[in-house]
Structures are given as C-alpha cells and as structure tokens.
Structure 1
C-alpha cells in the first residue's frame, strides 16, 4: 500500500492496523538536539485515546508509547525516531459479521474495489486508530515548533447545531470538558445534544478550528507547495474530514474586494502588519505573519446502532445495526489529530524554507 508517508524533510511513515499487534510511526528528518522522552509524546496520545468519557468508544487502551530509536540521553539524535503503541484490547469477533456486507459511510466498499480484499476488523488502515502514528510523530513536530515560538491551538468550535460563543473563549477550558470546547456553557449544551443522539442510537459531527501563532512571514511556496494547500491536504488526510476553509473561507464568496482585502499598516515599532485577517494568515500560499486560522468539518461517526440500509458483498440488500465499540462523535478526539498534522506540515515547510533565500544560506555558512 502506497501513501502511508507524509512530508519531505520532516517526514513520517505510519504503520499498523486497528486490530493488529500494534501501531506506530517512523519520524525522519527531525533535527538533532530536541529534548524528547516518552512522557512528552504520551501527553499528546492521552488526548486522543479511547475510553475517557461516555462520548468516546469504550475500548480500553492505555496507548502507552515506546520510543525504539532516535533518542539518546533525552535528546533527538537526528536519526529516524521509531515509536510503537501496542494494541491491548482487540475484540475482533465484534466485527466478524461485517465481513459479509458493506457498512454505510465506511471505506469497506472502496477498499474492496481497490484491493480486492479488506481488513474488516474495525476498518484496518481506515480505522481512526491509525491516527496514533500521526499524533506521535506530530508531537515531535510540535515540540520543535515551540522552540521557535510557534504555538498551535485546536478546539471544537461546534458540535451539531451547538456553536461556541467566541466572546466567551477560554483556552484553559478546552481541556476541562469532554468535548474540547473553549466555551463552558456551549460544552454543556453540546453534551445534552450528544446524549440525545446516543439515546436515538445516532451520531453527530462538528467543526474543529485551529489557530497558529508565531509563524513568521515567508513560509510556503507560491504554486504547488502553497502553505494553505499543504495544510488542506494534511487535514483532509484525516479520515472523518469532509470540509476545510481558511480565514473567512466560504464567506469570502459573498464578500467584495473592499470587504475581503486586508489593509496593510505599520505598528508602533515600524513593523508591517494587517488591520484585519480575512485571509487567515496566508497570502499567495505564503504566511503573512498574522495568526493562521482554519476550520475542518468532521462528519458524524458512520457506525451507529440505528437500522441502516446496505448490501452484502454479493449485492443482496439488507438492513444492519452496527455492533461493536464506537464513538458517538469523532470531533473531540480528532482535535489533537488536527493539531499534530498541522505541526507536521509547518515543521516540514519551515525546514524546506531554509534554502529559499541565498542570503540566509550565506549568512549561516559564512559565520
């Protein structure tokens, strides 16, 4: 299977299946000398692991990471960093019936169409558990970016029809509630809505917003390697994502040039900045120094207990009620996945940017 790696210089390759012996990642191209140990990676993995509330799958997994290479005496060595998380609580028998039919909303049919074979135990490589490798590799990228003063904050902006009031935004609240919302009151309403969905054996989706601060102007390329295009690819590679917008996004279609353009100005120190940020921090595919803001639309969890129409692999129509252990909503656990895929994209493009200006090369090597 092709397509399990991401990045050019700072590059990850993920491996493993939902019900195999384990999952993991090899991160290559990471600079030497970054402080790193398993606890730093674990902090990110704990944010996506299952069984943390009634709004996540009850599958009990510790998701303990093991660093197998690339770290010595608490720092990266510049060599490939291999990490593994072992599966501890597989219940493959819960999925044995799925082998005979295609689940609505899943990749069962398309996997069969492409490979003539599929791992029906929880979806194999199409399972949300595949994101373990992304989060582990992206955690390293996040640590690298923090040394540069770049910070990424992702959170749930909406769940179903429940939207955060951004006037009540509180970053500390994101990790204080089960739905990762920065608005405590909206989080309570979202929980009530989720309870209703669960009572109906149904699921729901939502929107994740991500804000990146500290990115200097000049990151990204103007044609095929645009920063916003690469962010979109990274986020769309997450299985449940069905939409992506940056800055004003689709609202820009209703705007005019006068209302959508960001006027330039200078601050008290003479630095060039913008009065507004309709562009979301990127112009012409290149960062402009403003906060980068984008949103991802996450679809409802396709595995639901309510009756659904589908067909068997021979085309016979049937009605199914999906069994097994599933999240009633994907959004809260996907927040850290969005955050770490963003980190991987930025880390890679910052390293690629080192060769963009001959003056920077001469300045570095002539010292």
Structure 2
C-alpha cells in the first residue's frame, strides 16, 4: 500500500492499524532545535483519544505516546523523529461476524476490489484510529509554527442542524465542552440532539472550522501546489471528510464580483490589510498574510445499530445490524485532526518557501 507519506521537506510517514499492536509516525525534515517533549504531543492526543464523553466510542485507549528517536535533552536533533502509540484495548472478536460482509459507508468493498484482501478488524488503515498518528505528527509541526508566532484553532462549527452563532463565539469555551463548540447555547442544543439520535441507534455528521493566525504572505506554489489546494488535499485525506471550503466557500457562487472582492488598504503602520476576507487567506494559491479560514464537512458515523441492506462476499443480498463500540458522531474528535493536518501542510510550505527568493538564501549563507 502506498499513499501513507505526506509532505516534501517536512515529511511524515504514518503506519499501523486499528487492531494491530501499535500505530506510529516517522517525521523526516524537522529542523534541529525545536523544543519538544512527549507531554507536548500527549496534549493533542488526549483531545483525540476515545472514551472521554457520552458522544464517543467507549473503547478505552490512553494513546500514550513514546518518542523513539530524533529528540535529545528536550530538543529535536534534525534526525528522523519516530513516535509510537500502542493499542491496549482492542476487541477484535467484535468484528469476526463482519469479515465476509461489506458494511454500508465503509471501505470494505473498495479495499477488496483493490487488494483482494483486507483487515476487517476495525477497518485496519481505514479506521478513524489511524488519525492518532497524524495528530502526533501534527503536534510536532504545531511546536515549530508556535515558535514563529503562528496559531491554529479549530472548533466544531455545526452538528446536524445545530450551528454556532458567531455573536456567541467564546474561544475559551472550546476546550470546556465535550463537543468542542465555541457557543454554550449551541453546545447544549447539540447535546440534546445527539442524545435523541443515540436513543434511536443513529449517528450525526457536522462541520469543523479552522482558522490560522499570523501566517506570513507568500506560502504556496502555483500551479498545482497552491496553498489552498494542498490544504484541501490534507483535509480530504481524513477518512470522514466529504467536503472542503475556504473563505466564502460555496457562497462565492451566489455573490457578485464587487461583493466578493477583498479591498486593500494600508494601516497606520504601513501594513497591507483587507477590508474583508472572502478569499480565506489565499490569492492565486499563495497566502496573503490575512487569516486562513477553512471549513470541512464530516459525514455521520456509518456504523450504526440499525438494520441496513447490504451484500456479502458470497454475492448475496443481506440485512446488517452493526454491533460493537462506535462513535455516534466523529466531529468532536476530528477537531484536533483538522488542526494537525493544517499544521503539517503549512509547516512544509514554510520550509519550501525559504528558497523562493535569492535574498532568503543570502540571509543564511552570506
């Protein structure tokens, strides 16, 4: 299987399965001198790990990370960083009844079509548990970005029909509720909505919004490696994500040119600023120095205890009712995954941008 490597200069390679011994990531290209400990990485993994609320799978995993290489006395050495997270609470027998069945909404059928063989225990590499390795790698990228004053904040924008109100936006509340919503009223409404779905053995989707502050202008390479194009690729690589938007997104199709254009002016310090941000922080595929704002749509959890028509490997039409431990909603645990993929993409672009101008090279060598 190819396709488990992301990045050009700041590069990660993830490995492991949901019900294997462990998952992990190898990071190649991280500069030496970044302050890094296991606690830095654990903080993000703790936000993603299961079993923390009534709205996540009851599978209990500590997701304890170990740094195997690339760090000495609390600083990165410039050599490959290897991180491992052991699986401790697998219940593979829960999936024995599914080894011959193609579950609706899962990758079972397509994996068989491609490889003729698949790991049916929790979907193997197609499991949402695979994202633990991404989050670990993203935590390292986030440390590098933080040293440059670049901040990334993601949050739950909507769950089912419940959407946050920007007038109620409270950044501090994001980390104080199970759903990672920045709106107390919306969080309460979403909890009530999800409780009803759980009682009916159903699941929900939602949207995640992510903003990046203090990113410099100039990141992204036309034509195929645009900043927004690479962010889109990173987001759509997350298994449950079905759509990506930046800035005004699909609303741009309903606007006029005069409405959508972001007008420039200089502030008192002579800095270029925009009066609006419909572009979402990029122009021509290159960051423009304003806030990056993206949204992703996350599908409902496909594993539900409701009877669904499907097929099996023997060519039969059957009815399926899925048992086991599953999230009634993926969105809250995916918030930190979106942050991680954003951090990884932008860190790689920052390193690549160092060679865009001769003067940049001269600053290092002259």
2:54 counterpart of 1:54: yes
**Residue matched to 1:234:** 234
User: Which shifted more, 357-366 or 114-123?
Assistant: 357-366
**Residue matched to 1:318:** 318
Map residues 166-245 of structure 1 onto 2, 5 A cutoff.
Answer: 166-245=166-245
State the TM-score, normalizing by the size of structure 2: 0.99
Secondary structure of 2:79 counterpart: coil
Give the superposition deviation at 1:2: 0.2
Q: Please report the RMSD computed on the Cα atoms of aligned residues, expressed in angstroms.
A: 0.5
Q: For structure 1, list consecutive stretches of 5 or more residues without a partner in the other structure.
A: none
Give the superposition deviation at 1:314: 1.6
**Residue matched to 2:144:** 144
Secondary structure of 2:294 counterpart: strand
Give the superposition deviation at 1:109: 0.1
Secondary structure of 2:137 counterpart: helix
Secondary structure of 2:94 counterpart: helix
Inter-partner Cα distance in structure 2 for 1:62 and 1:138: 18
Inter-partner Cα distance in structure 1 for 2:36 and 2:364: 26
Inter-partner Cα distance in structure 1 for 2:48 and 2:178: 11
**Residue matched to 2:359:** 359
Task: Map Cα deviations across residues 84-138 of structure 1 (whole Å, 9 max, x no partner).
Answer: 0100011000000110110000000000000000100000000001011100000
Inter-partner Cα distance in structure 1 for 2:315 and 2:328: 28
**Residue matched to 1:94:** 94
Task: Map Cα deviations across residues 127-183 of structure 1 (whole Å, 9 max, x no partner).
Answer: 001011100000000010000110000000000000001111111111100100000
Secondary structure of 2:188 counterpart: helix
Q: For structure 2, list consecutive stretches of 5 or more residues without a partner in the other structure.
A: none
Secondary structure of 1:355 counterpart: coil
Inter-partner Cα distance in structure 1 for 2:183 and 2:246: 22
Inter-partner Cα distance in structure 2 for 1:315 and 1:291: 52
Secondary structure of 2:354 counterpart: helix
**Residue matched to 2:276:** 276
Inter-partner Cα distance in structure 1 for 2:196 and 2:230: 37
Inter-partner Cα distance in structure 2 for 1:184 and 1:105: 32
Secondary structure of 1:304 counterpart: coil
Inter-partner Cα distance in structure 2 for 1:69 and 1:99: 37
Give the superposition deviation at 1:272: 1.3
Inter-partner Cα distance in structure 1 for 2:34 and 2:55: 35
Map residues 242-257 of structure 1 onto 2, 5 A cutoff.
Answer: 242-257=242-257
Give the 4+ runs in structure 1 shifted more than 4 A: none
Inter-partner Cα distance in structure 2 for 1:116 and 1:87: 26
Give the superposition deviation at 1:222: 1.9
| Alignment length (residue pairs) | 366
Inter-partner Cα distance in structure 2 for 1:186 and 1:19: 35
Give the superposition deviation at 1:363: 2.4
Give the superposition deviation at 1:271: 1.1
Give the superposition deviation at 1:364: 2.1
